[in-house]
């Protein structure tokens, strides 16, 4: 037997499709090709100055050592302060765990709660890492298909029907990556009631909480009463709202027992998240919030531009989509283009091949919906400049026109 035999858990693990698509676009760029890259969901803005300065100050003050594994008390307090200030929700620092980005937080939640024989309900389309992180623990991802007609919102009936005695968790992402779906308060509350009736925990991934558009309002899942809050595990972080993807700070807020178990796990796996990033995150959460709203407005401007360009595609190309109420993605169905000659005579029969051909012919990089449990769809991140959006949408249009 080969010494290089891999563990059963990683043998079937695929690389993150979003990161893989971004790497492919970068590779083409490195060959000198101008690529219109809409793969990664990350703000193109630099982290606001006062946050960068707080990082420098922390370094200069010697905050360059290990911190408690679950994060510095100042940041836990700042996280509690944010939920009080913005959502009137009361949490204690003992309910908070700081991790190396929200992706790490999600991993820690699942790894602390799930194992072989357990089921985790995931509405599709879902973010690429959800199913992968569930399967890594040996648990089963129970996928609930939502439709474009419903705005990719899971109904309470669908949720109820998916629950079995093995159900450990619902993973809900609001606003959603990749669909941009922003649940209304009534839709969330209906799901919350089903969770309470069936005593099912809800991992509420609220990383796009500050990025909602077209009058949509964000409500935290924990805000529907103490019975709901007792079953809610919030995951969020600084990556999207504060343009801090590289700093790797995310958090989990949940029942103390679960947070303690996650802290144990983290203390064995990674120790604390970067000390400097933690101090910078305190400044992000407690400092002026004007840049958050400025960036949101700019994302909304881009969203409106992208939607304005895409609406005629419905009639012209048979492309379909639900308009995003949050996050920074346009998610559209291109299956009407399958089997027909596209630019350069290319013929494709699925979304993955569509993305490959689009990159080769038009130098536009998207992520295939296949990675999000949504065959026929592709995802465009509009967290990039207007110029790139204009040129890239021209490219997609020419590609579809054939
Ligand atoms: N959840 C969702 C839905 C995401 O799109 C992302 C990607 N940034 C994350 C969690 C993880 O974010 P990060 O690890 O950068 O905090
Ligand atoms: N969440 C972002 C995305 O979906 C960043 C990449 C990743 O972490 O998957 O593009």
Q: Which residues pair with 99 in a beta bridge?
A: 250
> Distance between CA atoms of 198 and 321, rounded to whole angstroms?
33
The CA 340 to ligand 1 mean position distance, Å, reads 35
* pTM over 0.85, yes/no: yes
The CA 103 to ligand 1 mean position distance, Å, reads 5
pLDDT at residue 393 in the model: 98
Q: What is the pLDDT of residues 91-105, one digit of tens each?
A: 999 999 999 999 999
375 phi/psi in degrees, rounded to 5: -60, 145
The CA 76 to ligand 1 mean position distance, Å, reads 19
DSSP 76-129: HHHHHHHHHHHH-----GGGEEEESSHHHHHHHHHHHH--TT-EEEEEES--HH
Q: Which position has the token pair 């509420």?
A: 204
Which parts of 206-307 are beta strand (E)? 232-237, 250-253
> Distance between CA atoms of 100 and 235, rounded to whole angstroms?
12
Mean predicted confidence (pLDDT) in 215-221: 96
Share of the chain above pLDDT 90, in %: 98
Tell me the C-alpha to C-alpha distance, in Å, between residue 261 and each of 86, 172, 257, 377: 28, 21, 6, 38
Mean predicted confidence (pLDDT) in 289-312: 98
Closest ligand 2 atom number to CA of residue 127: 4
Share of the chain above pLDDT 70, in %: 100
Going by alpha carbons, the residue nearest to atom 5 of ligand 2 is 41
The best mutation among 41, 237, 328, 330 to test binding of ligand 2, ranked by most ligand atoms within 8 Å of the C-beta, falls on: 41
Task: Return the CATH number of the domain spanning residue range 49-288.
Answer: 3.40.640.10
DSSP 64-83: -S---TT--HHHHHHHHHHH
C-beta of residue 99 within 8 angstroms of C-beta of residue 273: yes
Sequence ranges of the chain with CATH classification 3.90.1150.10:
8-46+291-401
Closest ligand 1 atom number to CA of residue 327: 5
> Distance between CA atoms of 103 and 67, rounded to whole angstroms?
20
- Given a cut of 90, is residue 221 above it in pLDDT? yes
pLDDT at residue 302 in the model: 98
- Given a cut of 80, is residue 281 above it in pLDDT? yes
> Distance between CA atoms of 181 and 115, rounded to whole angstroms?
29
Going by CATH, does the domain composed of 8-46+291-401 fall within 3.90.1150.10?
yes
Mean predicted confidence (pLDDT) in 109-133: 97
pLDDT at residue 242 in the model: 98
Q: What is the pLDDT of residues 136-169, one digit of tens each?
A: 999 999 999 999 999 999 999 999 999 999 999 9
The mean predicted confidence, pLDDT, of the chain is: 97
Q: What is the pLDDT of residues 318-338, one digit of tens each?
A: 999 999 999 999 999 999 999
Sequence ranges of the chain with CATH classification 3.40.640.10:
49-288
- Given a cut of 80, is residue 240 above it in pLDDT? yes
Mean predicted confidence (pLDDT) in 96-116: 98
Please report which ligand is nearest the Cα atom of 238.
1
Mean predicted confidence (pLDDT) in 4-13: 91
Q: What is the pLDDT of residues 62-86, one digit of tens each?
A: 999 999 999 999 999 999 999 999 9
pLDDT at residue 383 in the model: 97
pLDDT at residue 1 in the model: 74
pLDDT at residue 2 in the model: 87
């Amino acid at each position: 037997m080969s010494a290089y035999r891999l563990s059963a858990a990683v043998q079937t693990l695929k690389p993150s499709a979003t990161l893989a698509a971004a790497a492919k676009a970068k590779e083409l760029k490195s060959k000198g090709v101008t690529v219109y890259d809409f793969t990664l969901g990350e703000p193109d803005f630099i982290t606001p100055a006062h946050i960068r300065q707080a990082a420098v100050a922390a370094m200069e003050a010697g905050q360059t050592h290990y911190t408690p594994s679950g994060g510095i008390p100042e940041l836990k307090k700042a996280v509690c302060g944010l939920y009080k200030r913005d959502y009137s929700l009361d949490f204690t620092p003992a309910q908070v765990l700081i991790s190396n980005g929200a992706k790490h937080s999600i991993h820690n939640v699942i790894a602390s709660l799930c194992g072989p024989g357990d089921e985790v309900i995931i509405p599709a389309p879902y973010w690429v890492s959800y199913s992968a992180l569930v399967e890594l623990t040996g648990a089963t991802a129970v996928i609930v298909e939502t439709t474009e007609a419903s705005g990719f919102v899971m109904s309470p009936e669908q949720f109820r029907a998916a629950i079995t005695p093995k159900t450990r968790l619902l993973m809900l992402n609001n606003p959603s990556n990749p669909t941009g779906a922003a649940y209304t308060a009534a839709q969330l509350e209906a799901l919350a009631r089903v969770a309470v009736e069936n005593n099912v925990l809800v991992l509420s991934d609220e990383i796009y909480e500050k990025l909602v558009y077209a009058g949509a309002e964000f409500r935290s899942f924990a805000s529907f009463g103490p019975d709901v809050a007792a079953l809610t595990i919030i995951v969020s972080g600084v990556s999207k709202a504060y343009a801090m993807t590289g700093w790797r700070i995310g958090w989990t807020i949940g029942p103390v027992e679960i947070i303690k178990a996650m802290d144990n796990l983290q203390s064995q796996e990674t120790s604390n998240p970067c000390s400097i990033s933690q101090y910078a995150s305190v400044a992000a959460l407690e400092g002026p919030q004007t840049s958050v709203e400025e960036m949101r407005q700019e994302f909304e401007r881009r969203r409106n531009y992208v939607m304005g360009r895409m609406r005629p595609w419905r009639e012209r190309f048979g492309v379909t989509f639900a308009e995003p109420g949050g996050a920074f993605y346009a998610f559209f169905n291109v299956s009407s283009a399958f089997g027909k000659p596209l630019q350069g005579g290319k013929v494709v029969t699925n979304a993955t091949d569509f993305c490959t051909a689009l990159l080769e012919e038009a130098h536009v990089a998207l992520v295939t919906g296949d990675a999000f449990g949504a065959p026929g769809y592709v995802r465009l991140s509009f967290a990039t400049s207007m110029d790139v959006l204009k040129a890239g949408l021209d490219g997609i249009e020419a590609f579809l026109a054939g």
